[in-house]
Amino acid sequence: MDMIVEDAPDRGRFEVFLGDRLAGFATYHVDSGVMTLPHTEVDPSLGGLGLGTELVRGVLAAARERELTVLPYCSFIRHYLHDHPDDVDLVAEVDRPRFGLATVDH
């Protein structure tokens, strides 16, 4: 089945679908060039399929495309950034210590 990540701005979130089934979402808010990311949730019955990773990848790609920095309050997104240091540049250097990302090599 195909995984698709879509922006749902009217609901303030990105959504990941497995086929036609909503499998998870990541909430966001954009203000003054900053995308705040407070929460990510994936259906636990679909764990282990990479849906969360695909969702975060799509969120961060959209932030990069829109030339936004991100505030990764969500622990899952922070974990993703630790594992994918090439995306740490999306967090402003001044904000990295606050999120435990100051020492992540990118």
CATH number assigned to the domain comprising residue 42: 3.40.630.30
Inside any domain, residue 105 = no
Inside any domain, residue 106 = no
Structural domain boundaries, residue 93? 3-99
Inside any domain, residue 41 = yes
Inside any domain, residue 94 = yes
Inside any domain, residue 43 = yes
Counting Cβ atoms within 10 Å, is residue 62 exposed (0-12), middle (13-18) or buried (19+)? middle
Predicted confidence at residue 106, as pLDDT, reads 57
pTM summary value: 0.94
Inside any domain, residue 23 = yes
CA separation (Å) from 44 to 20, 23, 49, 80, 103?
17, 9, 10, 18, 31
Tokens representing 66 are: 């829109």
Inside any domain, residue 37 = yes
Predicted confidence at residue 103, as pLDDT, reads 85
Which regions in the chain score pLDDT beneath 70? Answer: 105-106
The structure tokens 């990941």 sit at: 16
